[in-house]
């Protein structure tokens, strides 16, 4: 049995990871094809149905403008998940690059890059995040438009402030693997640093990177939701899950369904991703290689 088959067998035995995967699959399918099936427009205003509770006509109820919440949750999920995945890619790319260079070359390069990492770790993330978005959102809107500009800004700010844990993990594993015999043998026969990094070391730490990437998606969803909830995310006509919570804050007592369903979408998505990440960590842990 190959290592991949053993990892899959261990992952399948983790019932919470399987449950998380099933929930996440349902959410992804729902936001991907749901708007194609449930065709009530997200921007249709009907003040006669303002803050209507869930019904057959509106399964998740309506908001203060009479807009259908289910259609907005489905559409907003596309944006929230896309932002989270894009921010994850930015964070993983930066973290992997910095961690690999730091761990492979060591010395002064390692010291400088790790002090840079410590500097970013010491920064108060949420206030800095809010400050950067507040300062640059108008410029990005002018350059790329109100939606694309905010998307690019939010993705790069979230990704640029969440790469440090990935860098530390990658660095630690590079420090470990560069001293192993197969890497030393490759070095002895003249393998270039690029070949050592990408052919001999990187494949062995791919599992660690996958786990870190999985967990960073959940963090990115919460961060984007926080920005939108504070009114610094996407424009009001773009229904992200966080923006829907922001719009619902004044109706918690009179129309709790306005906050319940987008909040539940965030909760289930982040929880399922975390369960998957925990399952992957246990499945890919070399110390648990038995059978």
Determine the pLDDT at residue 21: 92
Return the minimum-mean-pLDDT range out of 64-78, 87-101, 225-239, 262-276.
225-239
pLDDT tens by residue, 114-133: 999 999 988 888 888 888 88
* Residue indicated by tokens 């690999």: 100
The confidence score (pLDDT) of residue 291 equals: 40
Burial state string for 217-245 with b = 16 or more CB within 10 A and e = fewer than 16: bbbbbbbbbbbbbeebbbeeebbbbbbbb
Q: Do the Cβ atoms of 173 and 204 come closer than 8 Å?
A: yes
Decide: 219 and 162 in contact? Cβ < 8 Å. Answer: yes
- Domain spanning 3-32+59-288: CATH 2.40.110.10: no
The predicted model gives 50-79 an average pLDDT of 90
pLDDT tens per residue across span 94-107: 999 999 999 988 88
pLDDT at 19: 93
Secondary structure string (H, E, C) spanning the chain: CCHHHHHHHHHHCCHHHHHHHHHHHHHHHHHHHHHHHCCCCCCCCCHHHCCCCCCCCCCCCECCCCCEHHHHHHHHHHHHHHHHHHHHHHHHHHHHHHHHHHHHHCHHHHHHHHHHHHHHHHCCHHHHHHHHHHHHHHHHHHHHCHHHHHHHHHHHHHHHCCCHHHHHHHHHHHHHHCCCHHHHHHHHCCCCHHHHHHHHHHHHHHHHHHHHHHHHHHHHHHHHHHHHHCCCCCCCCCCCHHHHHHHHHHHCCCCCHHHHHHHHHHHHHHHHHHHHHHHHHHHHCHHHCCC
pLDDT at 288: 46
Domain coordinates of the chain in residue numbers? 3-32+59-288
Residue 290 in this model has a pLDDT that exceeds 60: no
Task: Decide if pLDDT at 251 tops 70.
Answer: yes
Higher pLDDT, 286 or 258: 258
Residue with tokens 């399952």: 279
The overall average pLDDT reported for the chain is 87
Q: Band the pLDDT of 229: cuts 50, 70, 90.
A: confident
User: Given this model, what pLDDT does residue 1 score?
Assistant: 55
pTM reported for the whole predicted model: 0.85
**Greater confidence, 281 or 91?**
91
């Amino acid at each position: 049995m190959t290592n991949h088959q053993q990892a899959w067998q261990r992952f399948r035995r983790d019932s919470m990871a399987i449950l998380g995967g099933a929930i996440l699959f349902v959410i992804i399918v729902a936001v991907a094809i749901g708007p194609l099936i449930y065709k009530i427009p997200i921007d249709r205003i009907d003040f006669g149905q303002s803050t209507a509770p869930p019904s057959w006509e509106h399964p998740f109820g309506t908001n203060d403008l009479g807009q259908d919440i289910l259609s907005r949750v489905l559409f907003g999920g596309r944006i929230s998940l896309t932002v989270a995945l894009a921010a994850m890619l930015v964070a993983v790319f930066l973290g992997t690059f910095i961690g690999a260079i730091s761990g492979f070359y060591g010395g002064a390069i390692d010291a400088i890059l790790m002090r840079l990492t410590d500097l970013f770790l010491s920064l108060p993330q949420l206030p800095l995040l809010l400050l950067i978005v507040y300062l640059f959102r108008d410029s990005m809107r002018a350059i790329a438009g109100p939606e694309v500009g905010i998307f690019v800004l939010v993705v790069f700010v979230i990704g640029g402030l969440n790469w440090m844990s990935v860098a530390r993990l990658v660095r630690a594993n590079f420090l470990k693997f560069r001293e192993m015999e197969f890497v030393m043998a490759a070095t002895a026969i003249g393998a270039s640093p690029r070949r050592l990094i990408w052919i001999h070391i990187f494949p062995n730490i791919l599992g660690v990177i996958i786990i870190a990437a999985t967990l960073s998606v959940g963090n990115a969803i919460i961060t984007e939701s926080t920005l939108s909830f504070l009114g610094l995310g996407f424009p009001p006509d773009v229904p992200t899950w966080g923006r829907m919570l922001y719009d619902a804050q004044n109706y918690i007592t009179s129309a709790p369904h306005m906050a319940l369903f987008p909040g539940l979408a965030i909760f289930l998505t982040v929880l399922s991703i975390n369960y998957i990440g925990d399952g992957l960590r246990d499945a890919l842990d070399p110390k648990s290689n038995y059978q």
